[in-house]
Structure 1
């Protein structure tokens, strides 16, 4: 990665364990392509109730912006069912699975473009 990974927490306390998990997931993405430029991950927890006492049961929203040469891949996980991502680990897993699929698709397109360019040269 050309730029260090950026991890932001909004609406919840910073967690070293969560940050480490995100860094592991980003490292896995790097195994698919060494061309990654940058990655920014935002972990949010929106609170319907303004009281800080009512955080339990609120869903996590994960946004991943992955810059690759000439493009940017984005995953924004805003669950429609608020119970789907009450577990931060599940929210992170699902978001990174989606990003992995996007990255694999992008890599496939790059390889196809390279083959097409090579044949016409």
Structure 2
């Protein structure tokens, strides 16, 4: 992990065995999914009752690249439904099991996304640069049907707008904007020789 593990106890007594268990479970998460950037675990005793049967909340926040942090907060009422007298060990175990399941789903989704072609590949069309207005940051593409389609400088994802020339072949996705159809996600296929 790029960011060291952070463990905090709020309104709960710090316990060496609990901290050791949390560290072991985070190591297991890391061995399962090596792209984890950082992890913060909080043990918070939010509520107490006379019998002392309200377990603490174990909150796990896992930082991952390219996405919002994965957050698991295992609330006491779920543990009380599951165990007659839930305690900190149950809370830690159940929170990390839930985190493992969520990481497994995330890992599977990322692997599927890497295997599958880009989402817009089926909606992509081949066109040709027909007109350019560099001072106005836009141009027009000639579609395969022979029509003209507006595109903005910011729509060019692959290639450089300033290096585009009339006749360059591009792939694009057609969408409907406020003023009608336009080309988005423009990618240069082949540049015309100067």
TM range (shorter): 0.7 to 0.9
Query: Which range is displaced more, 3-12 or 109-118?
Result: 109-118
**Which structure dedicates a bigger proportion of its chain to helix?**
1
SS at match of 2:76: coil
Q: Which residue is 2:43 aligned to? A: 43
Structure 1 gap ranges (5+): none
Q: Which residue is 1:25 aligned to? A: 25
Query: Number of paired residues?
Result: 115
Shift of 1:80: 2.0
Distance 2:79 2:27 in 1: 29
Distance 2:20 2:28 in 1: 13
Q: Structure 1 runs of 4+ off > 6 angstroms?
A: none
Distance 1:3 1:70 in 2: 16
Q: 2:53 aligns with which of 54, 57, 63?
A: 57
**Which structure dedicates a bigger proportion of its chain to strand?**
2
Distance 2:94 2:78 in 1: 14
Query: Which range is displaced more, 55-64 or 88-97?
Result: 55-64
Distance 2:10 2:44 in 1: 5
Q: How does the TM-score come out when normalised to structure 1?
A: 0.84
Larger radius of gyration: 2
SS at match of 1:21: helix
